[in-house]
Structure 1
Amino acid sequence: MRVLVAPDKFAGTLTAVEAADAIAEGWHRHSPGDELDLAPMADGGPGFVDVLHASLGGELSAMTVEGPFGTPVPATLLVIGDTAYIETAQACGLHLTKGEGVEFATTIGVGEQLLAALGAGVRTIVVGLGGSGTNDGGGGLLEALGALGDAPLDCGPVNFAGVTRVDLEPARRRIGDVVLVAATDVDIPLTGLFGATKTFGPQKGVAEDRLVLVDGWLEDLANATDRRTSLEKGAGAAGGLGFALMLLGATRTPGIDLVVDAVDLRERARRADLVITGEGAFDFSSRSGKVPYGVASVAEQALRPCVALAGQVLVGSREMRALGVESAYSLVDLVGEERAFADPAGSLADLAARVARTWSH
C-alpha cells in the first residue's frame, strides 16, 4: 500500500518534518511493508522555509533581524534560482511576543528580511505569512523599506492614532521591478468585523475591551495609505503584513497552494492509495487556507481518501466531511493531554500505528 504523509506542524510541539517522521515511524511499526511518501507541508506560517528547503533544496542564508520589541532574533533566507523565500514568523512570530505587548510590537524585522532578499539580487520574493504575534498592519516593514509617515510606523499600532499621511514611494522604489508574492494562510481583510484585530487579536494578547480601539488604529493607517487595498482578501494576514505587501505591489496567493505546487503534491497524491494529513488542532477554521483542507482537496481531486491525525479534533463527522476528511483521530483522546505534550513524537507515532490498523491493507 502506498501512503502519502503530508502534515502541517503541530504548533508548539512538532515541526511538519518531525510530524511526518513520527507518523511514518508509527505506521511502519504496524505495516512495515507499506510504501510511505513523506511530504511535510506549510501554509506560509512557521515551517514555511524549512518545508520548501526539504523538498526543493536551495541555498539557506542565516541573518539577524530586529524582533517585535527591538531584540535581535535569528532568521533564514532561502534562495532557489532567482527566487527568494521569507518566513515572516521568524521575525515577528507569536513565539516572540508570547501574547504580550502587541500594541507596541513591530514588523520592522520583516522589512529587514526583505532588504536581505533584495540584496541577494533575486527577481521574485515570496513572503510566507502566518503565525505572527504582531498586529501593526505591516507598518514596521514599510518604514524599514523607507516609507515615511507623519507618525512613526515602526513602534506598533499604538502610534497610528491620528496618522494622516504616509509616503510609500521610497519603499516602492526600493522594491523596484522585483516581483513580490504574499503567501497567506488566511483570506481576511485588514479591518472590520472579520479583520485582523477582531479575528486574531485576542490570541495575540489584545484585550477584549480594546479590540475596537486597536482596529481603529489600523483604520487610520488604511485611510492614510489605501483604504480599498485594506479590504482585499489576505490584507489582514499576519496582523496586516498582507496589507503592507499589497501596498508595495504584491500579488496574493494562498500559501498552501504555493507549497502544493512546489512539492508536486497533486501528482504524488495520484500515486498514493491513501493520503494522511494533520495539525495541532483540527477545527473548522482549517477551511480558511490551512494545510489539512488544502491536502484534503488535493486528495479529493485525485480520488483518494484522506484522514487526519491531530493533537485535538474539534469538529464532528459532518464538519469533517465538509472539509474533505474521511476520519480524524485525536492524540489527546488516545494518550491524554499530559503525555501528548510531554512526548509529542512518540504519542503521534502511537496514534499512527493505531490508525494503520484500520486503514492499511
Structure 2
Amino acid sequence: MRVLLCPDKFAGTLSAPEVAAAVADGWRTVTDGDDLLIRPLADGGPGFVEVLAEALGGRRVPVSTVDPLGRPAAGEILLTADATAYLESAQACGLHLLSAAERDPKTTTSYGLGLLVAAAVESGARTVVIGLGGSGTNDAGAGMLAALGVTPLDPGGAALPYGGAALAAVDALDGAPRLRGVRLVAATDVDNPLLGLHGASNVFGPQKGADRGDVLLLDAALERFAAVLERDLAGCPTGLGTLPGGGAAGGIGAALFALGGTCESGIGLVTRATRLDAALDTADLVVTGEGSFDHQSLRGKVVAGVAGAARDRGVPCVVVAGQVSTGRREAASAGVTDAYSLVEHFGGEESGGLDAALSRPADGLRELGARLARQWSR
C-alpha cells in the first residue's frame, strides 16, 4: 500500500517533519510492507522555511533579529540556486515568541521581519518570498518598513513608537525602501483585507490579545496608515486597505503590497516545491494533520488543500490532530474521510487527555500511526 504522509506542524509542540516521522514510526510497528512517502507541509506560517529547505535544498543562513517586543531572536533565510530567498514572518513576529501576559497587538512590532528582509536583500537575492502566518503583531508592517528605511512620522515630524496603536497619529513617511530592485512575494493563504469587519484587527486581533476597544482603535489606526502609504509611498496601489491578503500577519501583507509585492498561495508554493501532486497521483491513502483541526482548517490551510486534492483523485484522506472540533459532515464535504484526535486518544479532556497531548505528542502520534496501519493497511 502506498501511503502519503503530508502533515503541517503541531504548533508549539512538533514540526511538520517530526509529526510525519512519528506517524511513520508507529505505522511501521504494525507492518513494514507499505510504501510510506513523507512530504511535510506548511502554509506560510511557522515551519515554512524548514519545509522548503527539505524540499528545495539550498543554503540556510542564520540571521540575528528581534522578536515582537524588540528582544534578540534567532532567524534564518533560505537561499536557493535561482537567487530566491525564503523567510518566514513568524521567526521575528510569531505569537509563540510571547507569553500570554505579553500579548498586546497595540505595542508589538514587525521590525524584526524587516531585518530578515534586509538580510535577504544584502545576500544578493533577486526574489524574496515571505511566509506570512502565526504573527503576534498588528502594525500593518510599519515596523518592517522602518527597518527597510521607511519611517512613519507624527504631525511634529518625530518617528512614531512601534506598535499598531501608535499609527493612529501617523502623518507622513520619511525615507525610501532599501530593496535594490528585489521582487517581493507574500506567501499566504489568508484572503482577509487589511481593514474592516473581515480585516486584520477584527478577525485576528483578539487571538493576539486585543479586546473590543483595542480592535476598534487598531482598525482606525491602520486605516489612517493605509491612507498615508497610498499618498506618500511611490508605487503603492490604491485601495490598499481592501486588497485580498492585505490582512495577513497583522497587515504585513498590505505593507508588502505597498512595496510593490505580489501575493501567492503559501500551500500552493509548498505543494509545488515538494512535488505533492505527483505523490498524490500514486497514493492509496493520504494522512495529513495539524495541531487543531477546526473551522479555520478548512479555509486555505494545509489540511483543506490536501483533503481537497485527495478527494479530486478519489483517494481517502485521514486527519491526525491534537484536537478535533470540526464536524464530521463539514469535514467530509472538504474531502476528509476520518479524523483522529490526540486528546481523545489519551482519554479526553476530563481524563487529562489535553495535558497528555501537549506533553507527549510524539508518543501519541506513534500510537495513532499504529492504529491507522491496523485500520487501513491491506
Give the alignment's TM-score, normalised by structure 2.
0.91
Distance of 1:311 and 1:44 partners within structure 2: 20
Paired position in structure 2 for 1:179: 183
CA contact (8 A) 1:108 1:154 kept: no
Distance of 2:148 and 2:52 partners within structure 1: 26
Paired position in structure 2 for 1:195: 199
Gap regions ≥5 residues in structure 2? 231-237, 347-352
CA contact (8 A) 1:106 1:154 kept: no
Distance of 1:346 and 1:22 partners within structure 2: 8
Counterpart code for 2:37: D
Distance of 1:2 and 1:284 partners within structure 2: 29
Distance of 1:150 and 1:330 partners within structure 2: 49
In the alignment, does 2:7 pair up with 1:7? Answer: yes
In the alignment, does 2:130 pair up with 1:119? Answer: no
Aligned ranges for residues 83-102 of structure 1 at < 5 Å? 83-99=84-100, 100-102=103-105
CA contact (8 A) 1:105 1:155 kept: yes
1:77/1:153 Cα in 2 relative to 1: closer, same or farther (>3 Å)?
Answer: farther
In the alignment, does 2:161 pair up with 1:158? Answer: no
Gap regions ≥5 residues in structure 1? none
Aligned length: 358
Aligned ranges for residues 298-309 of structure 1 at < 5 Å? 298-309=309-320
Distance of 2:166 and 2:212 partners within structure 1: 20
Q: Greater CA deviation, 141-150 or 86-95? A: 141-150
CA positional deviation for 1:101: 2.9
Distance of 2:301 and 2:257 partners within structure 1: 21
Distance of 1:322 and 1:300 partners within structure 2: 9
Q: Greater CA deviation, 64-73 or 146-155? A: 146-155
CA contact (8 A) 2:2 2:36 kept: yes
Aligned ranges for residues 128-167 of structure 1 at < 5 Å? 128-151=131-154, 152=159, 155-166=162-173
CA positional deviation for 1:273: 0.8
Distance of 2:166 and 2:217 partners within structure 1: 12
Paired position in structure 2 for 1:74: 74
Q: 1:231-251: per-residue Cα shift (whole Å, max 9, x none)?
A: 111100000110111111111
Secondary structure of the corresponding residue to residue 14 of structure 1: coil
CA positional deviation for 1:54: 1.3
Identity value in percent: 48
Distance of 2:69 and 2:313 partners within structure 1: 46
CA positional deviation for 1:291: 0.6
Q: Greater CA deviation, 340-349 or 99-108? A: 99-108
Q: 1:263-317: per-residue Cα shift (whole Å, max 9, x none)?
A: 1100011121111100011112112221101111222333322111111111111
* Structure 1 residue runs of 4 or more that deviate by more than 6 Å after TM superposition: none
CA contact (8 A) 2:121 2:180 kept: no
Secondary structure of the corresponding residue to residue 33 of structure 1: coil
CA contact (8 A) 2:85 2:125 kept: yes
1:153/1:46 Cα in 2 relative to 1: closer, same or farther (>3 Å)?
Answer: farther
1:267/1:154 Cα in 2 relative to 1: closer, same or farther (>3 Å)?
Answer: farther
Q: 1:212-266: per-residue Cα shift (whole Å, max 9, x none)?
A: 1121111111121136122111100000110111111111011011100111100
CA contact (8 A) 1:139 1:153 kept: no
Aligned ranges for residues 46-57 of structure 1 at < 5 Å? 46-57=46-57
Q: 1:94-152: per-residue Cα shift (whole Å, max 9, x none)?
A: 01223423211111111110110001111111000001111110000111111133233
Distance of 1:188 and 1:101 partners within structure 2: 21
Counterpart code for 2:145: L
Secondary structure of the corresponding residue to residue 86 of structure 1: strand
Paired position in structure 2 for 1:324: 335
Secondary structure of the corresponding residue to residue 129 of structure 2: strand
CA positional deviation for 1:153: 5.3
Match of 1:339 among 338, 341, 356: 356
CA positional deviation for 1:163: 1.6
In the alignment, does 2:208 pair up with 1:204? Answer: yes
Paired position in structure 2 for 1:34: 34
CA contact (8 A) 1:140 1:153 kept: no
Secondary structure of the corresponding residue to residue 20 of structure 2: helix
CA contact (8 A) 1:141 1:154 kept: no
Match of 1:269 among 271, 274, 280: 280
Secondary structure of the corresponding residue to residue 102 of structure 1: coil
Counterpart code for 1:170: A
CA contact (8 A) 1:98 1:133 kept: no
In the alignment, does 2:321 pair up with 1:310? Answer: yes
Distance of 2:53 and 2:304 partners within structure 1: 22
Distance of 2:161 and 2:26 partners within structure 1: 47
Paired position in structure 2 for 1:225: 229
CA contact (8 A) 1:45 1:185 kept: no
In the alignment, does 2:357 pair up with 1:350? Answer: no
CA positional deviation for 1:46: 0.3
CA contact (8 A) 2:165 2:217 kept: no
